[in-house]
Chains A and B, each alone.
Chain A
Amino acid sequence: MRLKVTTSPHIKNYYSTSYLMRQVIVGLFFPVIASLIFFKMKAFIVIIWCIIGCALAEYLWIRLNRLTNSLWDYSALVSAILLALSLPPETKWWMCVIGGFFAILVCKEFFGGLGYNIFNPALGARAFLMANFPVALTTWRFPYINFKTLGNIPDTFTYATPLALWKFDKIIFPLKYLFLGIRAGSLGETCVLAIIIGGFYIIFRKIADWRAPLGMFLSMTFLAPFYIWPNTGNFFNDLFISICFNLFSGGALLGMFFMITDPVTTPITKTGR
């Protein structure tokens, strides 16, 4: 009789690290689809080359080090998609590959592999790309879809992000457009609706804890009036617009649901979150 002898407990919960990563990818599915709808081919190029870059980097690292550990646990794929969603649509393919390599090799593996990184690899790579290719990463494009039904859109809207518009021109972007994503921005941050769906998916499937996003949501809500005040005359209208604008513009929501819930870099206690 060949008996296995290991320590207790002898029964374990069904999920694994791969399962958690796969569920995050399902949650990211929604912003990815939205970005493909809005930016079409350019989005596809950015996403594909980010994935190739990250996967290649992970594969090379594992081959060179002869490890068998985290190749197929989808964590590289998650970093790739997050990186892609944070880049503007016109990023060149080779920038994506460099970003992918930096994310996996420097931000993750050089620190010790999965679980030991102190920065989120996707964001670390984005910062690296921003430092090296500032022009490419601040060239924003308006989504490539037909706007005849939405009426006239002034030219100023097409080349600057809503936050830049507020900061420099004190223009508040129409909220309806913000929500649906009809505005310039990076791949992932445009369609707010898609991000919210994806984010709620991973929270309700208990992949991500709700406390960290709630903390960020509350702080953005309370601080919004201090930064943005549309002055429409009605106090509550002002407040509503201010809060929504703060939340929906920029990569705030993407960060709130997908970056802050990255397990490696979040606090480990409930109070901490």
Chain B
Amino acid sequence: MIRLNERKEPQHNIETEKFIDIDTLYLSLSQHTGTFSKSTVSLNQKVEESQLIAEASGYISSNLHSPVSGIIEKITYFNHPILKKNETIIIRNLNEPKKYSYINDVDRFSKEILLEKIKSAGTVGLGGAVFPTHVKLNPPKKIDTLIINGCECEPYLACDYRLMVEKSKEIFKGIEIVAKILEPKAIYLGIEENKLEAIKKFNLIISTKKFNLPNVEIKVLKSSYPQGGEKQLIYSITKRKVPIGKLPFDVGCVVFNVATVFAIFEAIYYNKPLIERIVTFAGKALKKPKNLWIKIGTTLRELFDKKVLEFCCEPTKIIFGGPMMGIAIDSLDYPILKGTGGVLFLTDKEIDLRDETNCIRCARCVDICPMGLLPLEFVKHIKENFYSELNEFYIMDCIECGCCAYNCPAKIPIVNYIKLGKQILKDLKNET
């Protein structure tokens, strides 16, 4: 695990703002892990805010709702750097905001009803993996430890931190719901040590004992990368190791991001599906970084056209996500997805563009790999086209965190080769 230069100032301490004055929204039907959703609306249909516009099409799939009341302009296919070729519903905003009323008697809902509500709300993991939450809340094995991930280990990003500071009570109400469904024996909140205000607020809430939670413990963790990765977090908190190729429930744990828990809270207490989230906009190319509550489907272009964000100089890279695992994009015409936690506008000084040179087998990548793999062997095999042996080195266990390529003195784009290798292996498997 690496200690990175966190670069979280000043966006760490900037309060969130809302942005709702959008003209057009682009909602992709495959912005979650699993099979993509199927559209349930037709052209020129008028939809209300939070109305279902696409339904889940399989066990691991998710619903999609309209973030605004508007008219369906087009349903077409787009190419996207993250989602590849995907079907997108384009909605024109009619600017009729909806009011959500608070539901008081949530306690009467049984486990099954809660799960059904979360499933129909289209909640997915907002830590980046966008895995359908209702599937995760129904693990095949009984779990005894619930871990809430408040780490946010990527540099620049502050969306989870602002959520923890501004909506701490709501997060605890969400944890209550998750605890009612999963019935864990222990609940841990993993937070990195650089999030002092959030830790203070959470400690205060726990000490008031207002919430119906048996044993919640806050674990303050060292700020290193990738502390927020599922398997790393489970090991740091419970010292249990998830075996290769297995999932957290195999060791009795389940991990949820704080933003996902907040989305669960909104789904149950307000009947509000997943239609907006906090996104951090940062980077030296921006005049002022911001944390915004954004409706899913807002394009970056509109944010700049409406002067919500402004450039102070031309960016060299625009990245969806954090600088270690984010995807670079080639224009401003892409929308915010369910899994977008931050958009970075970086200048030359903040990124590394050095060319690739020979691997000197210094093994700094091996030393730093949080999964204990041999990245230099992957690169060697992929360069020589020895694909069949990649599986022997457990390439599928790679979480693509980028620690290896960060550390490499020869500036070899190791994650690039690993992604290529994984794709080729998938294609080879599909062929046979």
Q: Which of B112-120, B215-223, B398-406 contacts A (4 or more CB under 8 A)?
A: B398-406
Query: Measured between C-beta atoms, what is the minimum distance from A224 to chain B in Å?
Result: 30
Residue A12 contacts which of B315, B327, B376, B411 (CB distance < 8 angstroms)?
A: B411
Contact B360 A10 (CB under 8 A): no
Number of inter-chain CB pairs below 8 Å: 130
Knowing A3-B318, A11-B406, A19-B409, say if A113 contacts B358 (CB, 8 Å).
Answer: yes
Contact B405 A268 (CB under 8 A): no
Total number of B residues with any Cβ neighbor in A under 8 Å = 51
Query: Measured between C-beta atoms, what is the minimum distance from B372 to chain A in Å?
Result: 9
Residues of B within 8 A of A70 (CB): 357-358
Knowing A7-B416, A9-B325, A10-B328, say if A16 contacts B410 (CB, 8 Å).
Answer: yes
Residues of B within 8 A of A267 (CB): 363
Residues of A within 8 A of B359 (CB): 115
Residue B352 contacts which of A11, A69, A75, A114 (CB distance < 8 angstroms)?
A: A11
Residues of B within 8 A of A73 (CB): 357
Total number of A residues with any Cβ neighbor in B under 8 Å = 34
A219 within 8 A of B: no
Can you name the residue of chain A whose Cβ is closest to the Cβ of B352?
Answer: A12
CA of A20 to CA of B361, assembled, Å: 13
CA of A9 to CA of B405, assembled, Å: 7
Contact A4 B316 (CB under 8 A): yes
Contact B328 A5 (CB under 8 A): yes
Contact B328 A270 (CB under 8 A): no
Contact B406 A1 (CB under 8 A): no
CA of A218 to CA of B203, assembled, Å: 50
SS class of chain B's interface: helix, strand, loop or mixed? loop
Contact A4 B402 (CB under 8 A): no
Residues of A within 8 A of B377 (CB): 268
Residues of A within 8 A of B411 (CB): 12, 16
Can you name the residue of chain A whose Cβ is closest to the Cβ of B325?
Answer: A8
Interface residues of A in 196-243 (CB under 8 A from B): 209
Residues of A within 8 A of B55 (CB): none
Interface residues of B in 186-235 (CB under 8 A from A): none
**B333-370 vs A, Cβ < 8 Å mask (1 yes, 0 no):** 00000000000001000111110011111110011000
**A237-273 vs B, Cβ < 8 Å mask (1 yes, 0 no):** 0000000000000000000000000011011111000
Most buried by B among A2, A16, A266: A16
Residues of A within 8 A of B405 (CB): 8-9, 12
Residues of B within 8 A of A146 (CB): none
Contact A11 B324 (CB under 8 A): yes
Residues of A within 8 A of B316 (CB): 3-4
Contact B409 A20 (CB under 8 A): yes
Residues of B within 8 A of A16 (CB): 354, 357, 409-411
Contact A8 B400 (CB under 8 A): yes
Contact A11 B408 (CB under 8 A): no
B330 within 8 A of A: yes
Query: Measured between C-beta atoms, what is the minimum distance from B7 to chain A in Å?
Result: 9
Contact A268 B366 (CB under 8 A): yes
Contact B323 A11 (CB under 8 A): yes
Query: Measured between C-beta atoms, what is the minimum distance from B67 to chain A in Å?
Result: 27
B155 within 8 A of A: yes
Q: Mark A residues whose CB is within 8 Å of B.
A: 1-13, 15-17, 19-20, 69-70, 73, 75, 113-116, 209, 263-264, 266-270
Return the 8 tightest CB-CB contacts between A and B, nearest first. A9-B402, A12-B352, A268-B363, A263-B362, A7-B416, A114-B358, A115-B358, A9-B324
Report 19 cross-chain contacts, Cβ distance below 8 Å, ordered by A residue.
A1-B314, A2-B314, A3-B330, A3-B331, A4-B351, A5-B81, A5-B317, A6-B328, A7-B328, A7-B413, A8-B402, A10-B323, A10-B324, A16-B410, A20-B362, A70-B358, A115-B358, A267-B363, A268-B374
17 more CB-based (< 8 A) A-B contacts, given A5-B81, A7-B413, A12-B405:
A1-B331, A1-B332, A8-B400, A8-B405, A9-B325, A9-B415, A12-B354, A12-B406, A13-B406, A13-B409, A15-B409, A17-B357, A17-B358, A73-B357, A113-B358, A115-B410, A266-B361
